[in-house]
Structure 1
Amino acid sequence: MTHLVLPQDANPLGHGHGGVILKHIDTAAGMVAMRHVRGNAVTASIDRVDFIRPVFVGELVHLKANLNGVGKTSMEVGVRVEAENLTTGEVRYTNSAYLTFVALTVDGKPSEVPPLIPETEEDVRRQHEAAERRRMRLAMRCREGQ
């Protein structure tokens, strides 16, 4: 997904507003999740997001989203964000995030997610890393008493 950063998307410094970038991250990830289940999917969580480099007004924001792993009713989607200066052609990494989505029936109840079949070694690596992050999320939730 690509978005042109306009003045209404900026904070007072002229940088892309973090909330606007997060909205685009959530939208890109949501499209990946819904395409996988061919139905409804909602955001359950977003892991920590660090804004490493700013995005400026007039630049393109490229969001590259991948389905990394699936559970019974949930999915992890990773999103990489890059900014492109249209004048110089420079492309730079700005941040990334992992989001968890839950598939829902038309009645709003969790529904089973189709399996994710890896096609490349990169897909296998992503699945293993997603499984480890899921274990860490569940352990953290247990520690927080949820």
Structure 2
Amino acid sequence: MNEAARPMSRSRSIMTELVFPTDTNHHGTMFGGTLMKDIDKISAISAMRHCGRPVVTASTDSLDFLAPIRLGEAVELEAFVTWTHRSSMEVYVVVRSENLFSGDRRVTCTAFSTFVAVDENGRPVPVPPVIPENDAERKLYDSAPERYEQRKKRRSQRYSSPE
């Protein structure tokens, strides 16, 4: 595929939701698993926007919970493609919570996920390169090859049961 490179802004996706009682644990904070589901969803949207094809999740790593998200707050997830390889895309997600009464906002979670573009048979297909458009994006782009190598190393060291 000799498709033209695409700017990071093309894949930028934002999702905002209110945190309801069914989204929270006994501490009154959002379930980590619920947030992980939302991160996977917004990441997939971002990856599909970048490549214009169906995608599958290959990995989620560097999922860092930084602060709790409380009942009644708004939670905003922002995702965009930061780097591409042949058929894979690294997606960065930053999660912010907001107290809608005071206006206080804070970063509560960050994550990197990898998605693979697939054809109608589920086989990997090439994706276009991505172009950073500002200093913050350039920093993510420039540091991505190191994260890619760490993922490869982690996959090679993965334990698998003989059963």
TM-score by length of 1: 0.93
Matched, 1:63 2:77: yes
Q: Structure 1: 5+ residue runs without aligned partners?
A: none
Give the structure 1 partner of residue 149 of structure 2: 135
Cα distance between partner residues in 2 of 1:109 and 1:50? 31
CA distance in 1, matches of 2:137, 2:97: 25
Does 1:82 pair with 2:117?
A: no
Match of 1:24 among 1, 17, 38: 38
Report the counterpart of residue 4 of structure 1 in structure 2.
18
CA distance in 2, matches of 1:17, 1:98: 19
CA 123–48 in structure 1, closer or farther in 2 if over 3 Å, else same: closer
Q: Does 1:48 align with 2:62?
A: yes
- Rounded to whole Å, the distance in 2 between the matches of 1:9 and 1:2 is 14
Aligned residues: 146
The CA RMSD measured in Å over matched residues stands at: 1.5
Runs of 4+ in 1 over 3 A off after TM superposition: 143-146
In structure 1, C-alpha distance between the alignment counterparts of 2:51 and 2:39, rounded to whole Å: 19
Cα deviation digits, residues 15-72 of structure 1 (max 9, x gap): 1111111111111111110001111011111103232211111100011112110000
Structure scoring higher RCO (CA < 8 A, sep ≥ 6) equals 2
Residue type at the aligned position of 1:45: S
What's the TM-score once normalised by structure 2's chain length? 0.84
1:72-111 → structure 2 map (5 Å cutoff): 72-111=86-125
Structure 2: unaligned runs, 5 residues or longer: 1-14
